[in-house]
Amino acid sequence: MAGKGAKKNSDIRSDIKADEAAADIKKDPDTASAGELSLEESFEKLDSLLERMEDRELPLEEAFSLYQQGLELMKSCNEKIDTVEKQILVLNGDGGFDEF
């Protein structure tokens, strides 16, 4: 009987942690506005997401949500890097400029 009670308390603690983490995600203004973050801020946010995902007690649903957020941040980072690469000009042999 004691084993069942301990398991239930453990499940309750996991549910509370998951609810708190989900609330933190919803409160986080950077999550909804990945396109508005600078590249450096996006990298910092990705690092933060990775740290949170490394928690072995993280519920699967929350881990998947963090994974999706990471994918969106990566997409935003790639778009920003592509934009900058297109703006870089390379001097060609004729003294003119070519797009990178």
pTM of structure: 0.56
What CA–CA distances, in Å, run from 11 to 7, 8, 57?
6, 5, 11
Give the single-character DSSP code of 37.
Answer: S
pLDDT at 71: 97
Residue-level pLDDT at 36: 87
Q: Can you name the residues that pair with 97 across neighbouring β-strands?
A: 91
Under 8 Å CB-to-CB from 72, ≥6 apart: which residues? 34
Predicted confidence (pLDDT) at residue 60 exceeds the cutoff of 50: yes
Q: Which tens digits make up the pLDDT trace of 18-58?
A: 445 444 444 454 444 666 889 999 999 999 999 999 999 99
**pLDDT per position as a tens digit, 64-91:** 999 999 999 999 999 999 888 877 766 6
Q: Give CA–CA dist 29/41, Å, rounded.
A: 12
